[in-house]
Amino acid sequence: PDGLLTESRLGLTAPDASGLASHLRQLADSDAVWRGYSNRGREYSVANHSVDRAMPRFEEVFRAALTGTRGSA
């Protein structure tokens, strides 16, 4: 819905079953395409969801919960 998958080439979206089947065939038929999506997905996950990256956000939420205030999270 936000375009992240397609804009960043992290994945494929399909409006219907036929589109999904087409994308699955594309991935199954091309090792290079499969590896490209896989590598970009892994890189995105590490850059945005690693413990070092995510923990400050969790800490902010936990502190806000303990103090009864709302942070920017």
- Confidence category of residue 62, pLDDT binned at 50, 70, 90: very high
pLDDT at 60 over 90: yes
Q: What is the mean pLDDT of the chain?
A: 91
Residue 68, pLDDT score: 86
Residue 72, pLDDT score: 57
Residue 36, pLDDT score: 97
Chain segment 22-34, per-residue pLDDT in tens:
999 999 999 999 9
- The position carrying tokens 């850059």 is 47
Write out the H or E segment, with its range, that includes residue 46.
helix 31-49
